[in-house]
Amino acid sequence: MLDFKLRKTMIFIEEISHDGGPVADTPRVRAAIIALVNNPFAGKYVEDIQPAMEVLKPLGLMMTDKLIDALGGKDGIDAYGKSALVGEAGELEHAALWHVPGGYVMRERLGEARAIVPSSKKVGGVGTAVDIPIAHINAAYVRGHFDAMEVRVPDGPKANEIMFALAMAKGPRIHSRLGGLELKDVIGEDGLR
pLDDT for 191: 67
Higher pLDDT, 189 or 136: 136
The residue among 65, 102, 88, 82 whose CA lies nearest residue 162 is 88
The whole-angstrom separation of Cα 120 and Cα 107 is: 17
DSSP state of 156: B
User: Does an H or E element contain 66, and which?
Assistant: helix 52-70
pLDDT for 137: 95
Confidence of residue 192 (pLDDT cuts 50, 70, 90): confident
pLDDT for 183: 66
Task: Identify whether the C-beta of residue 34 lies closer than 8 Å to the C-beta of residue 102.
Answer: no
Confidence of residue 107 (pLDDT cuts 50, 70, 90): very high
Q: Average pLDDT for residues 82-95, to the nearest whole number?
A: 98
- CATH architecture type of domain 6-185: 2-Layer Sandwich (3.30)
pLDDT for 96: 97
Neighbours of 40 (CB within 10 A): 19
Give per-residue pLDDT as tens, 151-188.
Answer: 999 999 999 999 999 999 999 988 888 877 776 677 77
Can you list the pairs that 48-51 forms with residues at least 24 positions away whose Cβ atoms lie under 8 Å? Answer: 49/93, 49/94, 49/97, 51/2
